[in-house]
Amino acid sequence: MTEDTTPHLFRPFAQRGVTFRNRVCVSPMCQYQAIDGRMTDWHYDHHVRFAMGGAAVGMVEATGVTPEGRITHGCTGLWEDGQIAPMARVAAAYKRYDCVPAIQIGHAGRKASSARPWDGAHPLGPDEEPWQTIAPSAIPTREGWHTPKAMDEGDFARIKNAFRDAAKRALAAGFEVVELHGAHGYLLHSFLSPLSNRRNDAYGGDLEGRMKFPLEVAATVREVWPENLPLWYRVSAQDGVEGGLEIGDTIELVKRLKALGIDLVDCSSGGIAGSPSLATVHPGPGFQVPFADAIRKGADIATMAVGFITEAEQAEAILAEGKADMIAIAREHLADPVWAYRAALKLDAPEAHGLLPHLYHWYLERRSRLKRA
């Protein structure tokens, strides 16, 4: 048998009925440009930059399953059928360029009803059309934030149904991967963390109780998400705050998610206390890779590494060392939408040919050879 000399970053990866042409994913990035949850032309233009750029997967931002599940007034939603058509346009653009369209669906919980980042990301004031937030317990994210309503039986049923219906709409829009947003202090994460979940019923208490709602949501979505399509889950692997969620807890959760049919875990961290300055972990190159590694080995599941991964060689090493199966890149893609293509040229992957529309490749590849000569 001859050794496979293809760089790991450019080896295809198959899950269920979907084959990703390489290991690069455009990480979800909120744009805050939706109107009543509907994507606008901005979203289309934003995603087309990546669709043409050579990544294997392009993921649409955190999309609210209910209106109160949005982070801001400008966040996308999938709680009504009218939101499907503008999303279908984006999904079709990704498919046109052989990039698998994915979408992250979620509920912002107690971190909802917030201003856009460039307006200060503060909790919306009385004259900014705020709304009632919900959470496992009536504990604000931090001082000065909205006090959420503790969820009751009716809320549990309503939110699970909303996740199920949003997944069905994502399918109708043409997405081939759904990722459940279980990270960054939003609703599902806030059930898991002992800092935000102080319930004393079946949905709180020990880890078993705190996992119950996120697992029920995952099971509900898996029931309607087709067997031949992958279902992913983003975790905050640890809170990084004293008394918070730890990596061992997350590994237990992931074992259970795997048994329910989750195919990959996207490994982020933090966000429970609402401010990075309160976290004990500080971002630096590849700072979350150890989480992807620990979860991959501890729960025997495919993982995606994310966070300050900017260089082709860095991404290649993460995969070659068996620490993750996919690499998600957010901010670097904003600066360089053809990041995957450039990485292929850098790593001398013959697959570079075919990652970009033929016309672009024809010119850029020659330019790159001339620069090297």
Active site residues: 186
The answer to whether 71 touches 62, Cβ cutoff 8 Å, is yes
d(CA 203, CA 87): 34
Nearer to ligand FMN among residue 118 and residue 371 (C-beta): 118
Q: Please, which residue, 76 or 220, has the CB nearer to ligand FMN?
A: 76
Strand ranges, E, within 71-186: 100-106, 134-135, 149-150, 177-182
Closest residue to ligand FMN, Cβ-based?
A: 330
- The residue (of 150 and 187) whose beta carbon lies closer to ligand FMN is 187
Minimum distance between the CB of residue 104 and ligand FMN, rounded to whole angstroms?
5
Residue 332: name the closest of 341, 319, 323 by CA. 341
Q: For the chain, report the end-to-end CA distance as a whole number of angstroms.
A: 34
Classify 291 in phi/psi space as left (phi over 0), alpha (psi -120 to 50) or beta.
alpha
Closest distance between ligand FMN and the C-beta of residue 189, in Å?
Answer: 10
Q: Kindly give the pairing relationship between strand 326-329 and strand 302-306.
A: parallel
The contact set with ligand FMN (CB under 6 A) reads 27-30, 61-62, 104, 181, 183-184, 234, 268, 306-309, 329-332
- Shortest distance, position 370 Cβ to ligand FMN, whole Å: 30
| Residue number, 203 or 232, with CB nearest to ligand FMN | 232
CB of 369 to ligand FMN, least distance (A): 29
Q: How many other CB atoms sit within 10 Å of the CB of residue 85?
A: 12
DSSP state of 258: H
Q: Smaller CB distance to ligand FMN: residue 20 or 339? A: 339
Q: How far is the CB of 329 from ligand FMN (least distance, A)?
A: 5
CA distance 1 to 221: 41
CA distance linking residue 213 with residue 17, whole number of Å? 28
Is the Cβ of residue 183 or residue 192 nearer to ligand FMN in the bound state? 183
Report the greatest alpha carbon distance in the chain: 69
Please give the Cα distance from 236 to 246 (Å, whole number): 9
Structure tokens at 274: 């609402």
Q: Please, which residues have CB within 8 angstroms of residue 199's CB and are 6 or more apart in sequence?
A: 136, 137, 150, 205, 209
